[in-house]
Amino acid sequence: MRVHICAVGRLRTGPERALIDDYLVRFDRTGRALGLGPAQMHEVEDKKGGGMSAEATLLERIIPKSSVIVALDERGKLQSSPEFATLLGDWRDGGRGDVAFVIGGADGIAPDLRKRADFRLSFGRMVWPHMLARAMLCEQLYRAASILAGSPYHRV
């Protein structure tokens, strides 16, 4: 099952990029034997300042058809890391295709796209900058793969 990260904003060279690249390499390496990955990053940018509805139009174009859509949203559902690992395994085994994680921009994800999502995932009720949310997602993907692989990275 391929994992798509569909995000608003272009990641420039810097500390977030280093973190994200590192966790995605680790995720791909750990996930390969589990049928998870590779992870692909898709970015959109609305240069005309059309806000979340313009961003949603661009996001809709890059979300692969028939993928499970997971919207990252602070109002979504909280998961422990083992619960998230189980979800990822279930999506892989469910045979629906790929999974697409959607990360909004400064205004968030437009309501229609949020409603269309199969799952809304929260990293807590605080709002994080989108690039940090991206880095946190990549770490949790690696952690989930490690949990499913039974490797000792995750400790309770």
Ligand X SMILES: C[S@@+](CC[C@H](N)C(=O)[O-])C[C@H]1O[C@@H](n2cnc3c(N)ncnc32)[C@H](O)[C@@H]1O
Binding site, residues? 72, 104, 123-128
Identify which of residues 27 and 123 has a Cβ nearer to ligand X in the complex. Answer: 123
Q: Which of 109, 110, 113, 138 binds ligand X (CB under 6 A)?
A: 109
Which residues, 6+ apart, have CB-to-CB distance to 43 below 8 Å? 7, 8, 9, 10, 11
- Binding site residues for S-adenosyl-L-methionine, as ranges? 72, 104, 123-128
CB 102 within 8 A of CB 109: yes
Q: Give the alpha-carbon dihedral of 41, 46, 49, 50, to 10 degrees.
A: -100
| CA–CA distance, 133 with 92 (Å, rounded to integer) | 23
Establish if 108 lies at the interface with ligand X (CB under 6 A).
yes
Identify which of residues 33 and 106 has a Cβ nearer to ligand X in the complex. Answer: 106
Map the footprint of ligand X across residues 63-82, applying CB under 6 A. 72-74
Query: Segment near ligand X (CB under 6 A), from 42-50, 61-69, 102-110, 146-154?
Result: 102-110
Residue 29 half-sphere exposure toward CB, CA atoms < 13 A? 8
| CA–CA distance, 102 with 132 (Å, rounded to integer) | 14
Identify which of residues 26 and 130 has a Cβ nearer to ligand X in the complex. Answer: 130
Positions that interact with ligand X (CB under 6 A): 72-74, 103-104, 106, 108-109, 122-124, 126-130, 133
